[in-house]
Amino acid sequence: MRRRSRDDRGFVAVWTVAISVSIVAVMGFTLDAGRVLRARSDAFGTAAAAARFGASRIDERAAVGESRVVLDVAAARAAALDYVEEKGYEGTVTVNGLEVTVNVQGDVDPRMLGVPTLHIDVTATAEAIQVSP
């Protein structure tokens, strides 16, 4: 019996190292995944806010003179792009009728696991509506 107990010597140390490495890897993955999800959420929030901001730029002459909603395309595009750039992202803006669509791109650098930079690309749309008096 004594001989058998000596054969298991060191087993706990190897097991402890394996479990410790696994726990660190899971923690690293969790932290990096959280960073990526947070960055994606922030980029989407920026795109949605920029689209709403652009959709609020109506042509005042058409609104007052003709009582209809028409977007000022240049002002809508400029306002949305300014908002996106202010938040530190790159983006494109498309104005189609009363809809403003904003596409935002950005990069996230995961820190814990050493994976390469991940690219984020999100799109949001907002629409100006005609409100009847």
Digit-by-digit pLDDT tens for the chain (133 residues) are: 445 555 666 667 788 889 999 999 899 889 988 988 999 999 999 999 999 999 988 877 776 777 777 888 899 999 999 999 999 999 999 999 889 999 999 999 888 767 788 899 999 999 988 766 5
Q: Is residue 92 in a domain? A: yes
**Does the residue 18 lie in any domain?**
yes
Residue at 132 is within a domain:
no
Instruction: Tell me, letter by letter, the H, E, C secondary structure of the chain.
Output: CHHHHHHCCCHHHHHHHHHHHHHHHHHHHHHHHHHHHHHHHHHHHHHHHHHHHHHCCECHHHHHHCCCCCECHHHHHHHHHHHHHHCCCEEEEEEECCEEEEEEEEEECCCCCCCCCEEEEEEEEEECCCCCC
Instruction: Assess if residue 71 is contained within a domain.
Output: yes
Question: Is residue 122 domain-resident?
Answer: yes
pTM for the model: 0.77
Residue 133 belongs to a domain: no
Residue 58 structural domain: 2-127
Per the domain annotation, does 72 fall within a domain?
A: yes
What is the domain count for the chain? 1
